[in-house]
Structure 1
Amino acid sequence: MTRLSVNINKIATLRNSRGGKMPSVLDAAIYCQKFGAEGITVHPRPDERHITRQDVYDIKPHITTEFNIEGYPSEDFIRLVTDVKADQATLVPDQPGQLTSDHGWNTVEHHDFLVDVIRRFKAVGIRTSIFVDPDLKAVEGAAEVGADRIELYTEPYASMYLSDPDKAVAPFVEAAKLAKELGLGINAGHDLSLKNLKFLIDKIPYIDEVSIGHALIADALYMGLRDTIHEYLECIEP
């Protein structure tokens, strides 16, 4: 069954826009779990424009589900993830000032680098997931570097979904099928929403986890956090 991990970066963005501690990122994590989320995702960036390093340390003792930390695997990121013993590290090829993730790894070109990073996480029992485009060579490369899972970058699917859902999902189905054959777990994330999530899960029912932040938090402004999480959980029910 697919699990829902809520990315709470946007809560931190709202807090940081005013300063102070409201809304509380810690309370958001606690309530997301209370309302049924099966994981919490954060993506700390070097400039700490939303989630800060201190947030990560503050949140970890209160995670009762799964703690997924996304980011570019710099030395600072590796130390942070291993310090708090995250359940999962999702490796994303972002540049330091990048607004949001917009592509997956070239797992062939960065083979040696990824092998070393994954080895360091596995040494302390942290599951690794590599952010990839729906590209078969990238999926094969993820298996070759020793990743436990891939996370499919789903923005292209979301962009095409309204005009041609079958065409939009086709490369993701193929990438997921190959990942499964190679023994990789499959996560998915980026621009998934109440409009397009169920169709993706129906086509790839063996997705292990979806990580959703921007759309979910935006929906919560109108529907409330509890009802919004329940709506997303309904989308991924088998």
Structure 2
Amino acid sequence: MAEEIVVQLKQVNIYQGDVQILKGVNLEVRRGEFVYLVGKTGTGKSSLLKTLYGELALKEGEGKVVGHDLRNQTWKTIPFLRRDLGVVFQDFQLLTDRNVKENLKFVLKATGWKDENMINAKIDDVLEKVGLKSKGFKMPFEMSGGEQQRIDIARALLNSPRLLLADEPTGNLDPETSDEIMGLLMNLSKDYGMAVIMATHDYMVINKFPARILRTEKGKVYDSANQYAEN
């Protein structure tokens, strides 16, 4: 049986305001696939990611992400799209006034979880997946950059996403810690069937952990799987 398609774009044009950033993008990403997104600053990497998680409206072309139609998103429906995604940023964005467990509990309660036993079980589950089960009572400032990034990834896993979008997740980390985070992301993709799209500037990471590459350049998205994702 063919793997589930979690991202499908057909003849998509992406705009920032009235300025066209990317033209005629055709793209499929399947369950459990790991994909890099590369390209010079200003060529559309962030715009593509923002379109996938609903921050930029899709006005032209067809787009589906984990079953949600991007053309039909409104401020009321975008939270439902984002509950089915995980998003990891470069700067962690952890709440500094509460410990790790309280950070994760905040997200679950904000997305409708109410049962305390289920909440605690889910938090233990994601912390175990990122190798930090014993660190739930630590404050963010007590943790290394690599540990904070793992907590950010754990937070992205809370609602069991089929797609994880990672924007420069190793950008602020030293090479050794960067390798640890890459190994974690690769294993999550493989072990849990989660698709990962990771924007990065770090070609040392790509060479060490090879995978399919999407490259934004001159208004197009080139795909190492089929040369370019545009007709």
TM-score (norm 2): 0.43
Greater strand proportion: 2
Q: Which has the larger radius of gyration?
A: 2
Greater helix proportion: 1
Higher relative contact order (CA 8 A, sep 6+): 2
TM-score (norm 1): 0.42
